[in-house]
Structure 1
Amino acid sequence: MVFMMVNFADKSVFGLAADEIRADMGLSATAFGLANSAFFLLFSVAAIAVGLLSDRVRPKWLLLCMAVLWSVAQVPAALGGGLAVLVGSRIVLGAAEGPAYPVAQQTALSFFPNHRRNLPGALVTLGITLGVITAAPGLTWVIGHHGWRAALWVVAAAGAVWALLWAVLGGDGTYRADAPEPPSAESAESAARPPYRRIFGSRTWIGTTVAYFATYWCVALMLVWMPSYLRNGLGHSAAVSGRLVALPWLLGAVVLLGQAALTGWLMRRGVGSRWARGGVGGGLLALGAAACLAFPLADSNAARTALLVVGFGLGGSFASVAVTTIAELAPPARRGGALGTMNAVVTTAGLIAPAVVGKLVDSQGVTGYQTAVLLSGVLLLVGALAALTLIDPARDAAHPSSCA
């Protein structure tokens, strides 16, 4: 969980310092959006490669290497340099952070059987929210008083401290594929190695990936453009924006824990994952879509801020559902590759979204932000429909050849 907190504190710096970076380097909104998109240039490729590698290498060492690279990647831009140095360091950082979430989840879930994975999966995802909530006020202060490059030194130090602690305290659970003596109930599952094409062609994997893509689109915009919209579009001060930007993440944390509790309660009562995971997750995305699509109807900045918080807070809630669903679908020997590939597809939203919104803001002004919110609502609605109609891991695990 702390690993994911550091991960998203790293990601949040650019959004919190958007105006300062643009002023310092003379960047248009489009150029700034493209610079942020560069972070995801190798993000997806690394997620696939390391996800497949995690089926063969102990995740403990993969997590340690990633955290060390995060800290190293911050240093060139923190020392100085222009746009080329900034973009280059972000590309390296993106490659190191691409596999973080699926490998962190794989590591955590390896300590638990399927029916006990909802809460630990939610807690790892909660690290994303806590990373932004705890980092936003402090990093905003550092940026305001010491400059945005100083904030890079802060997150680099956080990554280095985590790596040191993990080297001493980190480990792997007994439900991983290479465990020497897996529990007897898991033995057959651990030995199963269906072709990846069967997993990727299943309706559950496709539906989960589509729904998770919509969530990641919202996450990317919350990180990159929401602080700027709160300041320049809705008229909030920098200090107020630094606090308000944490609200959708805070709502997401509450929803995340509530979703885990509800899903666990339903599964203990015999409700299948089709409804306990797909139904609950799809319903939350539908509510987020409704808030985003209602955005133009709001007649005040306070109402728009509230809808923004609700829409993106609920819209960003599908991550832990996605991970536990795919962990149920894929046997341990294929879990790392299945999670890593899903994450690679999904995080292309981070490559596309910042650039698209930057272009909208340059061409439409403040109205471009509203267009971005509506577009997010449409994507969330598509994701909700995919979750509600396609997800059924019990069906697809039992009949892996059933494809969309």
Structure 2
Amino acid sequence: MSTGTARERSAAADRQSAVRTQLSEFPVTPGRAWGMTGLVIFLYVVNYADKAVLGIIAQPLARELDMSYSQIGLVGSLFYATYTVGGFLAGPLEKRLTLRWALLALALVWSVVMFPLVVSATFVTLVAGRMLLGFGEGPSAALLHTAMYSWHPPAKRGLPGAFLAGAPSVAKIALAPALTFITVQWGWRAALVSLSLLGLVWMVFWLTGWKEGPYTGRVAQGTDTAPVPTEPSVPWRSIVLTRTFVSCAFMTTVVFALSTVVLTWLPSYFEVGLGYSALQAGSMFALPSTVALILMILSGSVTDRLNARGHTSRVTRIIVPAISVLICGAVLMFLPYIGAPGIAVAVVSVGYGIGTIAYPLVNAAISELCPPQQTAGTMGIFIALMAFGGLITPYVTGVVIDHAATPAEGYATSFQAIGLLGAAAAVLVLLFANPERDRKVIRSEE
């Protein structure tokens, strides 16, 4: 036992020495760290706008292509099918390419795959374009988190993680009204073209400004060559079979299911289900995201301070998000019993906003489980599993709406069902997840 302990202490000392050396050669200032984080957030905003645009253009596109609610939902689900498959490629991509070139290549894919639909609008080109977009976006979330984490130590990832997780909210707050206006004024094709141009603008900033940070547990060997790990890797099964990983994956899968319904259906719910105009519905798309952004930044800041004061990750990154999802579920379960449109909008906004607190905090907890150089692979697997929530939820929602007495009833029933699942998943996380315990078990297998 003493030999094993001495070996572990020696390995830990070597890792700390390597990190200190790297930091001395590559100092991190708050301005530089947050500047690089800003570039990552900018890409995530573009990334999420590409996802959200289907919800914004769904009604005019459906009218032009004569699509049913079920077909709209099927397009949404097929996107998340390829998104899930693509998520498993995050680790291999990061091994073969640096973060700089991997994310640049993915952004280029997002910027061009929807052009065939602009040129030839058919149901087939819509499905093909969205599936290719999903495959290209699948690895991005894990790589974006890895890029952001490379500039922040583990104990201080709650707040930057909250800003990154808030990028979807920024996309809906800042870009959704603009895309809605473009769609109403010039048609849905103009909205797709504008997003492609925005992606190209990001590429220019990325190529001229990005550099990987030192908190990856790797020693760089030049600008564009693969870094060398400074910490031993562990078997993947040791990470993904922990109670923390499994229970958190289930909970975030349900939260992700809620997000996919919001992305695919919320503007249609506001317009067709609650009676608002197309412009009002597109603008109100930002309301749940505004609540989510405020709560994510607040929770990220508070939990980082609690970590600095010695609170465990189980408290700050497990109990806090699990309770938030529990509240989210309870709120959404009441939606079918609300008749006033304004109150229904408020319920969806508050429920969604509270539930999304889980994203940055749980992601930070998962990043603690693995050695730093396995972050991209671990997050890729975790986010790919999370994306299973989008495989059938948009389609099932469309089927429910098609068979409901009214569209409003169909939408409300779908939200209620997700609320029930979310509450159950949150209870499981409270019972089983503990990052500190599982990290010790994983490290013992190095």
- 1:375 and 2:417 matched: yes
Among 396, 417, 421, the residue aligned to 1:356: 396
- Which residue does 1:138 correspond to in 2? 178
Superposed CA deviations along residues 139-168 of structure 1, whole A, max 9, x for unmatched, are 111111111111100001111111122111
The code of the aligned residue for 1:146 comes to W
CA distance in 2, matches of 1:383, 1:259: 20
Q: How does 1:188-203 map to 2 (within 5 A)?
A: 190-203=230-243
Q: How does 1:51-70 map to 2 (within 5 A)?
A: 51-55=91-95, 57-70=97-110
Moved more, 251-260 or 381-390: 381-390
CA distance in 2, matches of 1:144, 1:253: 26
Superposed CA deviations along residues 4-60 of structure 1, whole A, max 9, x for unmatched, are 100111111110111111100000111111112221232111111123432453211
Query: Tell me, what secondary structure is at the counterpart of 1:54?
Result: helix
Among 236, 258, 273, the residue aligned to 1:218: 258
CA distance in 1, matches of 2:147, 2:230: 15
Among 314, 337, 345, the residue aligned to 2:385: 345
Superposed CA deviations along residues 221-274 of structure 1, whole A, max 9, x for unmatched, are 111001101111111111221221111101000110111012112211211111
Aligned partners of 1:329 and 1:397 also within 8 Å: yes
Following superposition, the deviation at residue 190 of structure 1 comes to: 4.1
- Which residue does 1:186 correspond to in 2? none
Aligned partners of 1:121 and 1:324 also within 8 Å: yes
Superposed CA deviations along residues 186-242 of structure 1, whole A, max 9, x for unmatched, are xxx941211000101001111221121121111111110011011111111112212
- Which residue does 2:330 correspond to in 1? 290
The code of the aligned residue for 1:381 comes to A
Aligned partners of 2:258 and 2:415 also within 8 Å: no
Aligned partners of 2:336 and 2:413 also within 8 Å: no
User: Structure 1 unaligned runs (5+)?
Assistant: 182-188
Among 118, 122, 133, the residue aligned to 1:78: 118
Aligned CA distance change for structure 1 residues 285 and 32 (closer, same or farther; 3 Å): same
Aligned partners of 1:285 and 1:318 also within 8 Å: yes
- Which residue does 1:162 correspond to in 2? 202
- Which residue does 2:267 correspond to in 1? 227
CA distance in 2, matches of 1:287, 1:110: 32
CA distance in 2, matches of 1:327, 1:55: 17
CA distance in 1, matches of 2:220, 2:132: 35
- Which residue does 1:388 correspond to in 2? 430
Following superposition, the deviation at residue 382 of structure 1 comes to: 2.2
- Which residue does 1:124 correspond to in 2? 164
- 1:315 and 2:315 matched: no
Superposed CA deviations along residues 353-399 of structure 1, whole A, max 9, x for unmatched, are 11010010111132211110111101221232133222211110101
Superposition RMSD in Å: 1.7
Among 59, 65, 76, the residue aligned to 1:25: 65
User: Structure 2 unaligned runs (5+)?
Assistant: 1-40, 222-228
Aligned partners of 2:296 and 2:356 also within 8 Å: no
Query: Tell me, what secondary structure is at the counterpart of 1:81?
Result: coil
CA distance in 1, matches of 2:180, 2:373: 43
Following superposition, the deviation at residue 178 of structure 1 comes to: 3.1
CA distance in 2, matches of 1:221, 1:56: 34
Among 384, 389, 398, the residue aligned to 2:440: 398
- Which residue does 2:306 correspond to in 1? 266
- Which residue does 1:93 correspond to in 2? 133
- Which residue does 2:15 correspond to in 1? none
Aligned partners of 2:79 and 2:134 also within 8 Å: yes
CA distance in 1, matches of 2:93, 2:440: 26
Query: Tell me, what secondary structure is at the counterpart of 1:225?
Result: helix
Superposed CA deviations along residues 85-113 of structure 1, whole A, max 9, x for unmatched, are 11111111111111111110100101121
Following superposition, the deviation at residue 333 of structure 1 comes to: 2.4
TM-score (norm 1): 0.94
CA distance in 2, matches of 1:340, 1:15: 25
The code of the aligned residue for 2:245 comes to W
CA distance in 1, matches of 2:387, 2:57: 22
Following superposition, the deviation at residue 290 of structure 1 comes to: 1.3
The code of the aligned residue for 1:92 comes to L
TM-score (norm 2): 0.86
- Which residue does 2:11 correspond to in 1? none
Query: Tell me, what secondary structure is at the counterpart of 1:31?
Result: helix
CA distance in 2, matches of 1:206, 1:190: 27
- Which residue does 1:2 correspond to in 2? 42
- 1:208 and 2:218 matched: no
The code of the aligned residue for 1:399 comes to V
CA distance in 1, matches of 2:337, 2:131: 39
CA distance in 1, matches of 2:420, 2:101: 40
Aligned partners of 1:110 and 1:176 also within 8 Å: yes
- Which residue does 2:7 correspond to in 1? none
Following superposition, the deviation at residue 306 of structure 1 comes to: 1.2
Query: Tell me, what secondary structure is at the counterpart of 2:214?
Result: coil
- Which residue does 2:56 correspond to in 1? 16
The code of the aligned residue for 2:137 comes to E
Aligned CA distance change for structure 1 residues 190 and 250 (closer, same or farther; 3 Å): farther
Following superposition, the deviation at residue 62 of structure 1 comes to: 0.9
CA distance in 1, matches of 2:247, 2:315: 13
- 1:329 and 2:369 matched: yes
Question: Which is higher, the Rg of structure 1 or of structure 2?
Answer: 2
